[in-house]
Amino acid sequence: MTILITNPNYDDTTGYLYYYTKKLLKFIELKGIKHIEVKRPKLRRGEVENYIIKNKPSLILLNGHGDDKTVYGDRINGVEEPIIEEGKNHLLLQGKLVYARSCWAARSLGKKCTYDGGCFIGYDVPFQFWVDERMSIPPKDKTAELFLEPSNLLAKTLIKGNSAIEAVRKSREKSKENIMSLLKKKKEPGTMSKIMVLWNNMQGQKILGDINMRYSS
């Protein structure tokens, strides 16, 4: 079964998501799993809809900006294009296992997508992370890694065929591990702000629908 992954890269935030998604893609390729990476110039609503309809991916990993009712794809002429929108094409996600690494999408979109089957993992808060601007590229940024590795672990756990709830559990464990390691150096400036953001992402992560759903390759 195919995995579909959207991978925008047009600003600082999506630049970091792009790097972490590339790490996931390497993992998928090593496992020899059939997958579709949708990125510029194909990261358009129509293309994504066609990929879902034609390939029937059972696992969909959405990366990019989002809000209560929308997950966005690329930025076209300065405007972000919705690729999945509640009330317009959200039924494409019904019955699928979906992880949206996007702000707020679990608030409403995720609920609508899982109304009649499927599982949606996402956030009902803005997904946030600190970056260290002394590191000009994501691979060197150990600060950003604290926030993005738990989300990559979630996706990896799903790809390995574990249940959605197990993937969420592992991601939370990783976040807790990062909080514990930060607590050991809590006198360093900014440490509590990092813990606060890890806590925000952890508490805001929601699993909706069939929590026992799993991907099988």
Site residues (vs another protein, CB under 8 A): 11-13, 16, 65-67, 72, 80, 102-104, 125-134, 143, 176, 179-180, 189-190, 192-193, 195-197, 199-200, 202-203
Strands 59-63 and 66-67 come out as unpaired
Residue placing its CB nearer to another protein in the complex, 99 or 127:
127
Question: Are residues 98 and 121 in contact, defined by beta-carbon separation less than 8 angstroms?
Answer: yes
- The Cβ of residue 112 has, within 10 Å, a number of other Cβ atoms equal to 17
Question: Are residues 120 and 98 in contact, defined by beta-carbon separation less than 8 angstroms?
Answer: yes
First to last CA, the chain: 5
Residue placing its CB nearer to another protein in the complex, 159 or 168:
168
C-alpha to C-alpha distance for 212 and 163, rounded to whole angstroms: 5
Residue placing its CB nearer to another protein in the complex, 51 or 127:
127
The pair of three-digit structure tokens given for residue 77, joined into one six-digit string: 């002429």
Taking the complex as a whole, how short is the minimal distance between the CB of residue 64 and another protein, in angstroms? 9
Taking the complex as a whole, how short is the minimal distance between the CB of residue 133 and another protein, in angstroms? 5
Taking the complex as a whole, how short is the minimal distance between the CB of residue 88 and another protein, in angstroms? 19
Taking the complex as a whole, how short is the minimal distance between the CB of residue 89 and another protein, in angstroms? 20
Residue appearing with tokens 């738990």:
150
Residue placing its CB nearer to another protein in the complex, 2 or 128:
128
C-alpha to C-alpha distance for 116 and 40, rounded to whole angstroms: 32
Residue placing its CB nearer to another protein in the complex, 32 or 142:
142
Taking the complex as a whole, how short is the minimal distance between the CB of residue 117 and another protein, in angstroms? 28
